[in-house]
């Protein structure tokens, strides 16, 4: 039976429980990384970063990119591999409220030969470190609307060039894909539950457009992205 997706409904996710055992947390992080790999989540924002990185590199400087609420760091790691393959000079920073997630992200980056500057902070209340571009993937659905506005304002203050956000579109297609992928690609019960809760907590493009306007991102573009995602991009004047 389909849930009623007309209204957004946010419930606490198992992954956000601070009492979640480390082993279950690690299993969920691996499961989410597998979902993101198959869905090519890193590709949603990557084309915009390539353009900015090439422009910065032509002027003789690296592009600084901050990944907000990075989790296990699988998305910036995937983009770092692609940047290396293209010969692009991108300096990566990551932040998250979870010290454990940051340890995982930093360790995975080091194993692959990358150096991620890690910052433990709460992106909804703490000031973000200065950067050229800030990006945020699959985090906004964890927040209430006022927190989304605060996050976007914080990313805007921190970013000298641009910011990009992508997240789940609350739709039947998104719900069906989340149910199927979470059960095919991972045995983690945390992911099985949270994948569906995440879709029900997702914002629709029209809703995120309203919040972006409230945050002062009047010239932001919002587009649909596969699979059942939306992409927000804002360039500094």
The CA distance from 222 to 94, in Å, is 24
pLDDT at 22: 84
For residue 176, the tally of other CB atoms under 10 A from its CB is 13
pLDDT at 1: 60
Among candidates 193, 226, 215, 209, which has minimal Cα distance to 15?
A: 193
The single-letter DSSP state of residue 202 is P
pLDDT at 11: 87
Give Cα 67 to chain centroid, integer Å. Answer: 7
Residue with tokens 């910011």: 163
Give the DSSP H/E element, type plus range, for residue 237. none
The CA distance from 116 to 100, in Å, is 15
pTM, two decimal places: 0.91
The residues facing 168 across adjacent strands are 229
Give the DSSP H/E element, type plus range, for residue 61. none
pLDDT (tens place) for every residue of the chain, 237 residues total: 678 888 999 988 888 787 888 889 889 888 888 887 888 888 999 999 999 999 999 999 999 999 999 988 989 999 999 999 999 999 999 999 989 889 989 999 999 999 999 999 999 999 999 999 999 999 999 999 999 999 999 999 999 999 999 999 999 988 998 899 899 989 999 999 999 999 999 999 999 999 999 999 989 999 999 889 999 999 998
- Which domains does the chain possess? 43-169+204-235 (3.40.50.150)
Q: By the 8 A CB rule, do 74 and 37 touch?
A: yes
């Amino acid at each position: 039976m389909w849930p009623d997706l007309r209204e957004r409904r946010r419930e606490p996710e198992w992954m956000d429980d601070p009492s979640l055992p480390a082993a279950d947390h690690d299993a969920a992080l691996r499961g989410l990384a597998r979902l993101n790999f198959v869905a090519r989540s890193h590709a949603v924002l990557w084309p915009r970063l390539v353009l900015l990185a090439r422009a910065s590199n032509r002027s003789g400087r690296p592009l600084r990119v901050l990944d907000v609420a990075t989790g296990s760091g699988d998305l910036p790691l995937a983009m770092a591999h692609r940047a290396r393959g293209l010969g692009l000079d991108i300096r990566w920073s990551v932040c998250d409220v979870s010290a454990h997630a940051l340890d995982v992200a930093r360790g995975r980056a080091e194993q692959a030969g990358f150096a991620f500057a890690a910052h433990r902070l709460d992106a909804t209340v703490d000031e973000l470190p200065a950067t050229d571009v800030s990006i945020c993937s699959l985090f906004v659905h964890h927040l209430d609307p006022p927190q989304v506005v605060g996050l976007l304002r914080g990313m805007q203050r921190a970013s000298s060039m641009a910011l990009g956000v992508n997240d789940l579109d609350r739709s039947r297609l998104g719900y069906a894909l989340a149910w199927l992928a979470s059960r095919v690609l991972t045995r983690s019960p945390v992911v099985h539950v949270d994948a569906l809760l995440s879709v029900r907590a997702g914002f629709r493009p029209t809703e995120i457009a309203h919040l972006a306007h409230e945050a002062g991102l009047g010239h932001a573009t919002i587009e649909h992205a596969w699979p059942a995602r939306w992409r927000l991009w804002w360039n500094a004047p």
